[in-house]
């Protein structure tokens, strides 16, 4: 009931629907990439280097003769995988920390939140950079790095929701009838956390895709010859003056994906949790 | 309030301790032998490896190493770069001004652009001006800064030849990087200013100001703006940190000297003292800036009681 009501409200938001459609198309293309009539995204084909957009390459070809369209579509597989996995890595410990800190309070709260504070002392991509430095540049360490560095967001968000949820009468009622802490936490408090976490998580996927593309652009994420949007931009930038298409299409792809996720996230926020509105 | 200030300052100490512990742990957390990893690019003899190990005091117990790390850092000694063989502190001191300059310029762009967009959107609620400025803000948040930088280089320097594309130095070289860096933060500030302004415009003193026949721009400029900016000022400190880290990317795009070059080269060359040094300096500056903003906030807004 609640779910269908929320779903209806999400679908009433034009932005959310537009975001959902764009994401659907991108995800479908990424998933179906091997089935589509696209040339191999990593096979070097020197004689066909630097064709401008049109025929035979809709988005042109890059300096190695690879089809830019094909690389953009295959790059979507990387970005659309990195974003959700990184958020997943952040979500599980983040929500757990927030639940424990908010529910038990006292020294548990103080201890956990001090750790979160220390992580928050590393602004923006600094923590992710530090983690990549330790693990070495690769796609896997990039996902771990982006994931770990966003744990504080979910920990704080969850804690705040728990603090208000635990004041509810039904929590007292559950305690009175002798429900163990675990039941109270998972059955009565966790559902209150779900809505804000879904909203922030959706926006977080977009943010994770941005950070991942940024680190790959800096040469610290996916390694060549993998088709990855950030990497494609960095490889295409020396051709900016004459062969603008090499860097432009992957850039558009990143922006479109993140824009769609932000629009969906905004729509979800308005539908599920208007309090979060900034 | 003095008690609040004191408590806020004291609360910073454990955070700084945690930050140094985390930065120190980087070397210990490296999978495998950090010394062999650091020297993997060089031809080395076992003696050289042993020398670097003792030079970095890696043969001592970890608590002793950590104590030395903190003590040295406090005295301004962050070790020697593996790659350039210069003291890390010197390298950072040489490059910090360029990064700070860019971060401040970015903050300026973000502040001016973000606040004006937010005010325009709030003052023209339900009009195409609001829709337009908020759409612009949405695009701003979604735009990867490195791509924006490349677009600006392509449009404004390669095509129109208005501004230099790469390098550092004079003010002209600062314009494009500052816009690139500041636009994302401007988008966030614009959204925040708009909602805060809408809130303030519903207050009774605004109605009073309007009722006495004040022009709308005076109502907004003189009565509403100051109060609407309070939450905006709070996140200025947070944004400054984001911008400081954001410079790393922008510096790479525009081939500007700065901390970005140091840390990225450091990561690629496994130059751990350098990476640790930059991470530590940036994190500590960020903590101190936030402390400063909080203190200023307490002084500026006496309404707020700190329990």
Distance CA(B200)–CA(B209), nearest Å, equals 12
Q: Examine residue B104 and say whether the peptide bond preceding it is cis (omega within 30 degrees of 0).
A: no
In this prediction, residue B307 has a pLDDT band, given cuts at 50, 70 and 90, of: very low
Paired tokens of A238: 């020396």
Distance CA(A257)–CA(A261), nearest Å, equals 6
Nearest to A129 among B144, B145, B263 (CB): B263
Nearest CA to CA, how far is A134 from chain B (Å)? 5
Spacing of C-alpha A18 from chain mean position: 18
Distances in Å between the alpha carbon of B200 and those of A167, B118, B122, B195, B297?
Answer: 30, 13, 10, 9, 19
Contact at CB, B266 and A114, closer than 8 angstroms: no
pLDDT on residue A148:
93
In this prediction, residue A178 has a pLDDT band, given cuts at 50, 70 and 90, of: confident
Q: Is A81 on the interface with B (CB under 8 A)?
A: no
Nearest to A254 among B147, B153, B242 (CB): B147
Q: Which residues in chain B are contacts of A266 at CB distance < 8 A?
A: 138
pTM over 0.90: no
Model confidence over B6-33: pLDDT tens digits?
888 888 888 999 999 999 988 888 877 7
Q: Which residues in chain A are contacts of B264 at CB distance < 8 A?
A: 129, 218-220
pLDDT on residue A278:
46
Distance CA(B10)–CA(B306), nearest Å, equals 15
Backbone torsion region of residue B221, taken as left when φ is above 0, otherwise alpha when ψ lies between -120 and 50, otherwise beta? alpha
Nearest CA to CA, how far is B71 from chain A (Å)? 19
Mean pLDDT across chain B, nearest whole number?
Answer: 84
Answer whether residue A25 shows pLDDT above 60: yes
Model confidence over B187-211: pLDDT tens digits?
888 888 888 888 888 888 888 888 8
Spacing of C-alpha B297 from chain mean position: 19
Nearest CA in chain B to A215: B249
Report whether B178 contacts B106 (CB < 8 A).
yes
pLDDT on residue A154:
92
Share of chain A above pLDDT 70, in %: 96
Answer whether residue A151 shows pLDDT above 90: yes
ipTM of the complex: 0.85
């Amino acid at each position: 009931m609640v779910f269908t009501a929320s779903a209806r409200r999400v679908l009433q938001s034009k932005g959310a629907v537009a975001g959902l459609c764009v994401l659907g198309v991108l995800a479908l293309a990424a998933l179906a990439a091997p089935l589509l009539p696209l040339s191999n995204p990593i096979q070097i084909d020197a004689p066909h280097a630097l064709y401008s957009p049109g025929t035979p390459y809709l988005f042109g070809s890059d300096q190695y003769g690879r089809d830019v369209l094909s690389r953009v579509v295959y790059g979507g597989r990387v970005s659309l995988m990195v974003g959700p996995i990184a958020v997943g890595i952040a979500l599980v410990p983040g929500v757990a920390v927030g639940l424990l800190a908010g529910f038990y309070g006292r020294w548990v709260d103080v201890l956990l939140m001090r750790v979160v504070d220390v992580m928050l002392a590393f602004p923006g991509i600094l923590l992710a950079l530090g983690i990549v430095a330790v693990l070495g540049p690769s796609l896997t360490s990039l996902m771990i790095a982006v994931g770990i560095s966003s744990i504080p967001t979910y920990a704080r968000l969850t804690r705040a929701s728990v603090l208000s949820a635990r004041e509810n009468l039904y929590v007292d009622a559950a305690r009175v009838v002798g429900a163990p802490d675990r039941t109270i936490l998972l059955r009565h408090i966790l559902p209150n956390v779900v809505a804000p976490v879904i909203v922030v998580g959706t926006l977080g996927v977009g943010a994770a895709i941005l950070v991942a593309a940024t680190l790959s652009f800096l040469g610290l994420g996916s390694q060549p010859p993998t088709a990855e949007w950030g990497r494609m931009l960095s490889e295409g930038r020396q051709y900016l003056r004459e062969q603008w298409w090499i860097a432009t299409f992957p850039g558009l792809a990143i922006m479109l994906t993140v824009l769609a996720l932000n629009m969906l996230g905004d729509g979800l926020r308005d539908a599920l949790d208007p309090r979060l509105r900034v | 309030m003095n008690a609040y200030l004191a408590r806020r300052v004291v609360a910073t100490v454990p955070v700084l301790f945690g930050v140094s512990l985390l930065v120190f742990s980087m070397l210990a957390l490296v999978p495998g032998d950090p010394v062999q990893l650091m020297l993997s690019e060089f031809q080395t003899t076992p003696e050289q490896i042993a020398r670097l190990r003792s030079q970095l005091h890696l043969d001592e117990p970890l608590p002793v190493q950590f104590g030395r790390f903190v003590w040295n850092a406090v005295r301004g000694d962050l070790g020697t770069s593996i790659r350039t063989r210069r003291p890390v502190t010197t390298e950072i001191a040489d490059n910090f001004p360029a990064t700070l300059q860019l971060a401040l310029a970015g903050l300026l762009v973000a502040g001016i652009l973000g606040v004006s967009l937010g005010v325009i959107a709030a003052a023209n609620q339900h009009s195409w001006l609001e829709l337009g400025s908020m759409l612009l803000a949405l695009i701003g948040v979604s735009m990867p800064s490195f791509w924006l930088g490349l677009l600006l280089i392509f449009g404004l320097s390669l095509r129109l030849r208005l501004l230099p594309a790469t390098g550092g130095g004079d003010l002209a070289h600062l314009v494009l990087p500052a816009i690139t860096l500041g636009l994302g933060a401007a988008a966030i500030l614009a959204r925040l200013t708009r909602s805060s302004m809408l809130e303030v415009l519903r207050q009774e003193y605004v109605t009073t100001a309007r009722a006495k026949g004040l022009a709308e721009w005076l109502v907004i400029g003189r009565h509403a703006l100051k109060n609407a900016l309070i939450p905006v000022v709070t996140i200025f400190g947070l944004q400054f940190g984001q911008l400081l880290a954001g410079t790393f990317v922008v510096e790479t795009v525009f081939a500007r000297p700065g901390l970005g070059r140091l840390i990225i080269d450091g990561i690629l060359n496994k130059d751990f003292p350098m990476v640790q040094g930059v991470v530590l300096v940036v994190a500590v500056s960020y903590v101190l800036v936030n402390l400063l903003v909080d203190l200023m906030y307490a002084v500026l807004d006496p309404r707020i009681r700190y329990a």
